[in-house]
Amino acid sequence: MNASFRWISDQRRVLSVVALVVTTVLAGGYLVFGSLRVDPFQSTYTVRVDLAKSGGLLPGRDVSLRGVRVGTVRSVDLVDRTVVAVAEIDSGVRIPASSPARVAALSAAGEQYLDFVPTTSTGPFLRNGSVVGVGRTSSPVSLADTLTNADGTLAQLNPEQLGSIVRELGAGPTAPDKLADIIDGGAFLISTLSSVLPQTSSLIRNTAVVANTVSELGPGLRDTAAGLDRTLTGVQKMQDGFGRLVTITPATFRQLDQIISDNSPTMVSLLGNLVSTVQVMQLREPAIRSLFSPSGRTGSAARAVGSVVHDGAIWAVVNIYPRKICDYVQPRLPVSGASFPEPYLYPTCTPEDSAQIVRGAANAPLPPGVTDAPPDDLNAVTSPTPRGRYSLPLIPGGARQPVPVPGG
């Protein structure tokens, strides 16, 4: 026994070195296999995840499946304005290919990790070389964006009004209770909005659309406000006139009432006469309408009288020489028509005295070989004009352009 202790005493330096080496190896093994989770026998597959923003994700951070660690982030690079994270995932873990990925943080201090949140448990699944596009990834709001938004919010606060609120809250012994009620009310409002998050999001989006519409209508609203300002300014200038009108209106109505009261018998008989007059005019309505606005002809008797009497005199044209006209038996065609109708074959004039009509009016030419018009065919017309390729259509407004030219 003494010999054993003596040997240990003599070899204590060697034993110390061995103990240090063993301790170092155990500690290193714990760090490598326990803390760093290095498994030389573990097989993995890599998945490329495209991110719009890195969100603070760094190489070596964990990759999780609904919060359970399943791999590590091997690298984070910037490729064509897109953040590309390469994730090494344990080969025994199957993640649906349609699963969205997000960069999340364990705490407010950071510790970001890449988390897959599958919406189904069926395939197809991610495999080595799979790519998760930007459309299925999300990143947390960065501290810079938060500070920027907070700066915009704080810029809208009025320091004087905020100081007044602080002074009001600290003015009495119930100020802490008021502040607690405000905080509780804010928490209740947030929890209520959180319970109806889809409706709240829809309301915010609709509010943004309304705000953009109002912004686009800004120039028109400014012009409207300017017009209303001018209108109200004019109304204000006429305030004295309105006041006088309101002041004299009761007296005017009293005078009118007195006039009606004094002339009530006459007014009754006048109204009776007016009723009789209206009844008579109602019976003569066709004649009155024909006098002022006839429907079967153009012009009216009142307009004709107005064309004769003007400039303080009566105007008329008198022809002292009698002139006879020849009235053809064929119906007259409108001269304004664009169809240019064919002429009549047998125009016949029947004057009372052929010696007094215009020379030749009774001698209209007839077709060759015809000496007298057949009594039963007075409305016959000549043969239609031949129409060819270059004939122009006779339509109101003229032919359509361009007109084809022969030989062109």
User: What is the spatial distance between Cα 88 and Cα 100, in angstroms, rounded to a whole number?
Assistant: 17
* Segments of the chain scoring below 50 in pLDDT: none
33 CB-near residues (< 8 Å, 6+ apart): 39
Domain boundary among 114, 143, 172: 143
Whether 50 and 138 share a structural domain: yes
- Of 156, 99, 153, the C-alpha closest to 126 is 99
Residue 208: inside a domain, yes or no?
no
Asked if the structure places residue 396 within a domain, the reply is no
Residue 246 confidence (pLDDT): 83
Number of residues written out for the chain: 408
pLDDT for 210 equals 82
**In a shared domain, residues 176 and 106:** no
**pLDDT confidence of residue 208:** 80
Whether residue 219 is contained in a domain is answered as: no
The pairs formed by 389-396 with CB atoms below 8 angstroms and a separation of 24 or more are 394/338, 394/339, 394/340, 395/338, 396/338
Instruction: Say how far apart CA 112 and CA 54 lie, in whole Å.
Output: 10
Q: Do residue 123 and residue 137 come from a single domain?
A: yes
C-alpha 26/C-alpha 20 separation (Å) is: 10
d(CA 367, CA 343): 12
- The three-state DSSP-derived secondary structure of the chain is CHHHHHHHHHCHHHHHHHHHHHHHHHHHHHHHHHHCCCCCCCCEEEEEEEECCCCCCCCCCEEEECCEEEEEEEEEEEECCEEEEEEEEECCCCCECCCCEEEEEEECCEEEEEEECCCCCCCCECCCCEEECHHHEECCCCHHHHHHHHHHHHHCCCHHHHHHHHHHHCCCCCHHHHHHHHHHHHHHHHHHHHHCHHHHHHHHHHHHHHHHHHHHCHHHHHHHHHHHHHHHHHHHHCHHHHHHHHHHHHHHHHHHHHHHHHCHHHHHHHHHHHHHHHHHHHHCHHHHHHHHCCCCCCCCHHHHHHHHEECCEECCCCCCCCCCCCCECCCCCCCCCCCCCCCECCCCECCCCCCCCCCCCCCCCCCCCCCCCCCCCCCCECCCCCCCCCCCCCCCCCCCCCCCCCCC
Q: Does the model's pTM come out above 0.85? A: no
Same domain as 70, residue 13:
no
Q: Is 117 in the same domain as 56?
A: yes
**Quick check: is 9 in a domain?**
yes
Residues 64, 135: one domain?
yes
For residues 92 and 161, membership in a common domain is answered with no
Same structural domain, 101 and 126 = yes
Q: Determine, yes or no, domain membership for 181.
A: yes
Q: Are residues 139 and 50 part of one domain?
A: yes
Evaluate whether residue 315 is within a structural domain: no
Q: In this structure, are 48 and 139 located in the same domain?
A: yes
Domain count, the chain: 3
HSE-CB for 72 with a 13 A CA cutoff: 12
- 48 assigned to some structural domain: yes
Q: Provide the domain limits for residue 6.
A: 1-39
Instruction: For residue 325, tell me if it sits in a domain.
Output: no
Q: What are the structure tokens assigned to 212, written together? A: 């953009």
User: Residue 316 in contact with residue 308, Cβ under 8 Å?
Assistant: yes
Domain final position from 80, 109, 143: 143
* CB burial of residue 83 (10 Å; 0-12, 13-18, 19+): buried
Longest CA pairwise span in the chain (Å): 182
120 & 30 share domain? no
Considering the domain architecture, whether residues 62 and 100 belong to the same structural domain is answered as: yes
